Structure 1
Amino acid sequence: MGERQNTKLEAEGAEFMVLGLLLVEGLHCFKAYTNFAGYDLVALDPSTGRSARIQVKSRWATDYDRSFAIKNFDCDFVVLAALNRGYRFRRAATRAPDDGRRPPRFFCFPVEIVRAAQSATDLWGKVSLSRIDNPESYEDAWHLIQEWIGDQK
Protein backbone atom coordinates (compact mmCIF):
# COMPACT_ATOMS: atom_id res chain seq x y z
CA MET A 1 0.00 0.00 0.00
CA GLY A 2 2.91 2.39 0.58
CA GLU A 3 2.88 5.75 2.25
CA ARG A 4 -0.25 7.46 3.46
CA GLN A 5 -1.94 9.58 0.81
CA ASN A 6 -2.26 13.30 1.60
CA THR A 7 -5.95 14.14 1.16
CA LYS A 8 -6.02 17.41 3.10
CA LEU A 9 -7.20 19.46 0.10
CA GLU A 10 -9.92 16.94 -0.69
CA ALA A 11 -11.06 16.95 2.96
CA GLU A 12 -11.31 20.75 2.89
CA GLY A 13 -13.18 20.48 -0.40
CA ALA A 14 -15.61 17.99 1.15
CA GLU A 15 -16.44 20.50 3.88
CA PHE A 16 -17.17 23.17 1.30
CA MET A 17 -19.25 20.72 -0.76
CA VAL A 18 -21.41 19.91 2.26
CA LEU A 19 -21.64 23.63 3.08
CA GLY A 20 -22.82 24.31 -0.48
CA LEU A 21 -25.37 21.49 -0.42
CA LEU A 22 -26.84 22.79 2.84
CA LEU A 23 -27.08 26.30 1.41
CA VAL A 24 -28.81 24.93 -1.70
CA GLU A 25 -31.27 23.18 0.63
CA GLY A 26 -32.11 26.61 2.01
CA LEU A 27 -30.30 26.20 5.31
CA HIS A 28 -28.20 29.00 6.74
CA CYS A 29 -24.78 27.48 7.28
CA PHE A 30 -21.21 28.59 7.83
CA LYS A 31 -17.79 27.01 8.15
CA ALA A 32 -16.16 26.93 11.57
CA TYR A 33 -12.63 27.77 10.46
CA THR A 34 -10.39 27.03 13.45
CA ASN A 35 -10.35 25.76 17.02
CA PHE A 36 -13.58 23.77 16.77
CA ALA A 37 -12.28 20.23 17.16
CA GLY A 38 -15.66 18.49 17.18
CA TYR A 39 -17.31 20.13 14.20
CA ASP A 40 -16.60 21.79 10.86
CA LEU A 41 -19.89 23.49 9.97
CA VAL A 42 -22.76 25.14 11.80
CA ALA A 43 -26.28 25.22 10.35
CA LEU A 44 -28.76 27.53 12.01
CA ASP A 45 -32.22 29.02 11.97
CA PRO A 46 -31.63 32.77 12.40
CA SER A 47 -35.19 33.37 13.56
CA THR A 48 -34.89 31.01 16.54
CA GLY A 49 -31.14 30.89 17.03
CA ARG A 50 -31.26 27.08 17.10
CA SER A 51 -28.18 25.50 15.53
CA ALA A 52 -26.67 22.16 14.51
CA ARG A 53 -22.94 21.44 14.73
CA ILE A 54 -21.82 19.25 11.84
CA GLN A 55 -18.64 17.21 11.55
CA VAL A 56 -17.64 16.26 8.01
CA LYS A 57 -15.72 13.03 7.47
CA SER A 58 -14.48 12.31 3.97
CA ARG A 59 -13.16 9.29 2.16
CA TRP A 60 -11.16 9.89 -1.00
CA ALA A 61 -11.18 6.45 -2.61
CA THR A 62 -14.09 4.96 -4.50
CA ASP A 63 -13.09 1.54 -3.18
CA TYR A 64 -12.87 2.54 0.49
CA ASP A 65 -13.98 -0.04 3.05
CA ARG A 66 -17.23 1.82 3.89
CA SER A 67 -15.84 2.96 7.22
CA PHE A 68 -14.39 6.13 8.71
CA ALA A 69 -12.54 7.05 11.86
CA ILE A 70 -13.99 9.41 14.45
CA LYS A 71 -12.77 10.25 17.93
CA ASN A 72 -14.60 13.47 18.81
CA PHE A 73 -18.38 13.40 19.16
CA ASP A 74 -18.82 17.06 20.11
CA CYS A 75 -21.33 17.62 17.31
CA ASP A 76 -24.98 17.02 16.46
CA PHE A 77 -24.50 15.43 13.02
CA VAL A 78 -21.77 13.60 11.16
CA VAL A 79 -21.79 13.86 7.38
CA LEU A 80 -19.78 11.22 5.55
CA ALA A 81 -18.64 12.52 2.19
CA ALA A 82 -17.68 9.58 -0.02
CA LEU A 83 -15.74 11.56 -2.62
CA ASN A 84 -15.23 8.65 -5.05
CA ARG A 85 -12.12 10.15 -6.66
CA GLY A 86 -10.72 6.84 -7.91
CA TYR A 87 -9.41 3.44 -6.88
CA ARG A 88 -6.77 3.20 -4.20
CA PHE A 89 -7.15 -0.08 -2.31
CA ARG A 90 -7.95 -2.78 -4.87
CA ARG A 91 -5.16 -4.50 -6.66
CA ALA A 92 -4.93 -3.53 -10.33
CA ALA A 93 -6.12 -6.98 -11.49
CA THR A 94 -9.44 -6.63 -9.63
CA ARG A 95 -10.25 -3.07 -10.64
CA ALA A 96 -12.91 -2.15 -13.13
CA PRO A 97 -11.61 -1.07 -16.55
CA ASP A 98 -12.17 2.61 -15.67
CA ASP A 99 -10.32 4.87 -13.22
CA GLY A 100 -13.02 4.50 -10.54
CA ARG A 101 -14.15 8.12 -10.47
CA ARG A 102 -17.81 8.47 -9.55
CA PRO A 103 -20.07 11.27 -8.32
CA PRO A 104 -19.67 11.95 -4.61
CA ARG A 105 -22.21 10.59 -2.12
CA PHE A 106 -23.20 12.20 1.17
CA PHE A 107 -24.60 10.48 4.26
CA CYS A 108 -26.09 12.67 6.99
CA PHE A 109 -26.12 10.82 10.32
CA PRO A 110 -27.30 12.05 13.72
CA VAL A 111 -24.29 11.75 16.01
CA GLU A 112 -26.03 9.16 18.22
CA ILE A 113 -26.25 6.77 15.25
CA VAL A 114 -22.53 7.15 14.59
CA ARG A 115 -21.57 6.75 18.25
CA ALA A 116 -23.63 3.55 18.54
CA ALA A 117 -21.97 2.12 15.39
CA GLN A 118 -18.39 2.79 16.49
CA SER A 119 -16.28 -0.28 17.10
CA ALA A 120 -15.26 -0.50 20.76
CA THR A 121 -12.14 -2.48 19.86
CA ASP A 122 -10.79 -0.47 16.92
CA LEU A 123 -7.82 1.74 17.87
CA TRP A 124 -8.76 4.31 15.22
CA GLY A 125 -12.34 4.58 16.47
CA LYS A 126 -13.71 3.35 13.17
CA VAL A 127 -17.37 3.38 12.29
CA SER A 128 -18.42 0.92 9.62
CA LEU A 129 -21.54 1.58 7.59
CA SER A 130 -22.31 -2.12 7.99
CA ARG A 131 -22.96 -1.42 11.69
CA ILE A 132 -25.64 1.16 10.82
CA ASP A 133 -29.13 -0.07 10.06
CA ASN A 134 -29.98 0.85 6.45
CA PRO A 135 -27.22 3.45 5.95
CA GLU A 136 -28.56 4.35 2.50
CA SER A 137 -31.61 5.88 4.18
CA TYR A 138 -29.27 8.61 5.46
CA GLU A 139 -27.97 9.49 2.00
CA ASP A 140 -28.72 13.15 1.27
CA ALA A 141 -30.88 13.23 4.42
CA TRP A 142 -30.49 16.99 4.86
CA HIS A 143 -34.04 17.10 6.23
CA LEU A 144 -32.69 15.69 9.49
CA ILE A 145 -30.68 18.87 10.02
CA GLN A 146 -33.66 21.01 8.96
CA GLU A 147 -35.84 19.26 11.52
CA TRP A 148 -33.16 19.56 14.24
CA ILE A 149 -32.94 23.31 13.92
CA GLY A 150 -36.69 23.66 13.47
CA ASP A 151 -36.56 24.94 9.91
CA GLN A 152 -39.64 23.35 8.32
CA LYS A 153 -39.37 24.60 4.72
Structure 2
Amino acid sequence: MARMDTRLESEGAEFLVLGQLLIHKIAAYKTYTNMPGYDIVATNAEHSSSARIQVKSRWKTGANGFPIKNFECEFVVAVFLNRGSPDGKKLPMPPHYYVLPAATVQALRRSEGWGKVNLNHLPELEQYREAWGLISDFLMSSRANPSPLEC
Protein backbone atom coordinates (compact mmCIF):
# COMPACT_ATOMS: atom_id res chain seq x y z
CA MET A 1 0.00 0.00 0.00
CA ALA A 2 1.33 3.44 -0.92
CA ARG A 3 2.04 5.85 1.90
CA MET A 4 -0.75 8.40 2.47
CA ASP A 5 -0.05 12.05 1.80
CA THR A 6 -1.08 13.74 5.07
CA ARG A 7 0.69 17.08 4.62
CA LEU A 8 -2.56 19.06 4.76
CA GLU A 9 -3.65 17.23 7.90
CA SER A 10 -0.26 17.93 9.50
CA GLU A 11 -0.62 21.64 8.77
CA GLY A 12 -4.16 21.48 10.13
CA ALA A 13 -2.90 19.87 13.35
CA GLU A 14 -0.51 22.79 13.84
CA PHE A 15 -3.40 25.23 13.51
CA LEU A 16 -5.51 23.12 15.88
CA VAL A 17 -2.76 23.36 18.50
CA LEU A 18 -2.38 27.10 17.88
CA GLY A 19 -6.13 27.51 18.39
CA GLN A 20 -6.08 25.48 21.60
CA LEU A 21 -3.24 27.60 22.97
CA LEU A 22 -5.08 30.81 22.15
CA ILE A 23 -8.39 29.72 23.70
CA HIS A 24 -6.43 28.71 26.83
CA LYS A 25 -5.12 32.31 26.96
CA ILE A 26 -1.59 31.39 25.90
CA ALA A 27 -0.26 33.87 23.35
CA ALA A 28 1.32 31.95 20.48
CA TYR A 29 2.19 32.14 16.82
CA LYS A 30 2.94 29.62 14.09
CA THR A 31 6.44 29.66 12.65
CA TYR A 32 7.34 29.45 9.01
CA THR A 33 6.78 26.02 7.45
CA ASN A 34 9.46 23.40 8.11
CA MET A 35 11.27 25.28 10.86
CA PRO A 36 13.64 22.64 12.26
CA GLY A 37 12.74 21.57 15.78
CA TYR A 38 9.52 23.48 16.41
CA ASP A 39 6.32 24.65 14.76
CA ILE A 40 4.78 27.10 17.25
CA VAL A 41 6.18 29.61 19.72
CA ALA A 42 4.17 30.39 22.86
CA THR A 43 5.03 33.63 24.62
CA ASN A 44 4.37 35.52 27.82
CA ALA A 45 5.21 39.20 27.34
CA GLU A 46 4.79 40.01 31.05
CA HIS A 47 7.53 37.52 31.97
CA SER A 48 9.57 38.00 28.77
CA SER A 49 9.47 34.26 28.17
CA SER A 50 8.82 31.86 25.33
CA ALA A 51 8.43 28.13 24.70
CA ARG A 52 9.09 26.33 21.43
CA ILE A 53 6.49 23.69 20.61
CA GLN A 54 6.84 20.85 18.13
CA VAL A 55 3.56 19.42 16.83
CA LYS A 56 3.42 15.74 15.92
CA SER A 57 0.24 14.44 14.34
CA ARG A 58 -1.12 11.08 13.32
CA TRP A 59 -4.04 10.70 10.96
CA LYS A 60 -5.36 7.23 11.86
CA THR A 61 -7.84 6.55 14.66
CA GLY A 62 -6.13 4.53 17.37
CA ALA A 63 -2.58 5.66 16.57
CA ASN A 64 -0.32 5.66 19.63
CA GLY A 65 3.08 6.89 18.47
CA PHE A 66 4.97 9.17 16.15
CA PRO A 67 8.49 9.55 14.74
CA ILE A 68 10.69 12.23 16.30
CA LYS A 69 14.40 12.92 16.01
CA ASN A 70 14.79 16.63 16.75
CA PHE A 71 14.32 17.82 20.33
CA GLU A 72 15.14 21.52 19.90
CA CYS A 73 11.96 22.51 21.70
CA GLU A 74 10.52 22.71 25.19
CA PHE A 75 7.26 20.85 24.43
CA VAL A 76 5.94 18.26 22.01
CA VAL A 77 2.20 18.28 21.41
CA ALA A 78 1.02 14.96 20.00
CA VAL A 79 -2.21 15.39 18.06
CA PHE A 80 -4.03 12.18 17.26
CA LEU A 81 -6.44 13.37 14.58
CA ASN A 82 -8.51 10.16 14.66
CA ARG A 83 -9.72 10.49 11.07
CA GLY A 84 -10.62 6.80 10.71
CA SER A 85 -8.54 4.25 8.84
CA PRO A 86 -7.73 3.76 5.16
CA ASP A 87 -9.68 0.48 5.14
CA GLY A 88 -12.74 2.11 6.77
CA LYS A 89 -12.75 -0.25 9.77
CA LYS A 90 -12.04 2.54 12.27
CA LEU A 91 -14.41 5.46 12.47
CA PRO A 92 -13.45 9.12 12.81
CA MET A 93 -13.50 10.60 16.32
CA PRO A 94 -12.58 13.99 17.81
CA PRO A 95 -8.84 14.65 18.04
CA HIS A 96 -6.82 13.93 21.20
CA TYR A 97 -4.05 16.27 22.35
CA TYR A 98 -1.14 15.33 24.59
CA VAL A 99 1.07 18.17 25.85
CA LEU A 100 4.43 16.60 26.69
CA PRO A 101 7.64 18.18 27.94
CA ALA A 102 10.34 17.45 25.35
CA ALA A 103 12.53 15.81 28.04
CA THR A 104 9.70 13.32 28.77
CA VAL A 105 9.46 12.33 25.11
CA GLN A 106 13.24 12.18 24.75
CA ALA A 107 13.43 9.74 27.68
CA LEU A 108 11.07 7.29 25.95
CA ARG A 109 12.46 4.36 24.01
CA ARG A 110 12.54 5.07 20.25
CA SER A 111 12.60 2.63 17.35
CA GLU A 112 15.72 2.26 15.23
CA GLY A 113 15.73 4.22 11.98
CA TRP A 114 12.48 6.19 12.19
CA GLY A 115 12.96 7.13 15.84
CA LYS A 116 9.29 6.39 16.55
CA VAL A 117 8.07 6.69 20.15
CA ASN A 118 5.09 4.76 21.42
CA LEU A 119 3.10 6.70 24.01
CA ASN A 120 1.76 3.43 25.42
CA HIS A 121 5.20 3.19 27.10
CA LEU A 122 4.36 6.30 29.15
CA PRO A 123 2.45 5.01 32.21
CA GLU A 124 1.17 8.46 33.24
CA LEU A 125 0.03 9.40 29.71
CA GLU A 126 -3.44 10.61 30.74
CA GLN A 127 -1.96 13.35 32.94
CA TYR A 128 -0.64 14.95 29.73
CA ARG A 129 -3.97 14.88 27.88
CA GLU A 130 -4.93 18.49 27.11
CA ALA A 131 -2.42 19.65 29.75
CA TRP A 132 -2.12 23.17 28.30
CA GLY A 133 -1.36 24.42 31.81
CA LEU A 134 2.11 22.87 31.54
CA ILE A 135 2.96 25.43 28.88
CA SER A 136 1.49 28.40 30.75
CA ASP A 137 3.24 27.29 33.97
CA PHE A 138 6.53 26.99 32.05
CA LEU A 139 6.09 30.50 30.65
CA MET A 140 5.58 31.86 34.17
CA SER A 141 8.66 30.09 35.57
CA SER A 142 12.31 31.08 35.45
CA ARG A 143 13.02 27.99 33.28
CA ALA A 144 11.50 29.61 30.22
CA ASN A 145 13.74 31.03 27.54
CA PRO A 146 13.94 34.78 27.06
CA SER A 147 11.42 35.93 24.52
CA PRO A 148 12.69 36.64 20.98
CA LEU A 149 11.04 40.04 21.49
CA GLU A 150 13.81 40.96 23.95
CA CYS A 151 16.64 40.52 21.48
Q: What do the CA deviations read for 1:21-76 (whole angstroms, capped 9, x no partner)?
A: 00000010000114620000000101122001000000000032x11000100000
Q: What do the CA deviations read for 1:73-113 (whole angstroms, capped 9, x no partner)?
A: 0000000000000123xx67xx3xxx510000000000010
Q: 2:67, 2:46 → 1: CA distance?
A: 35
Which residue is 1:146 aligned to? 136
- Helix, strand or coil for the counterpart of 1:47? helix
- Helix, strand or coil for the counterpart of 2:35? coil
Which residue is 2:96 aligned to? 105
Q: 2:35, 2:81 → 1: CA distance?
A: 23
Q: For this pair of structures, how many residues does the alignment match?
A: 141
TM-score normalised by structure 1 residue count: 0.87
Q: 2:47, 2:12 → 1: CA distance?
A: 29
Which residue is 1:124 aligned to? 114
**Paired letter, 1:147:** D
- Helix, strand or coil for the counterpart of 2:97? strand
Runs of 4+ in 1 over 6 A off after TM superposition: none
| Cα RMSD after superposing both structures | 1.5
Structure 1, unaligned runs of 5 or more:
none
TM-score normalised by structure 2 residue count: 0.88
Structure 2, unaligned runs of 5 or more:
142-151
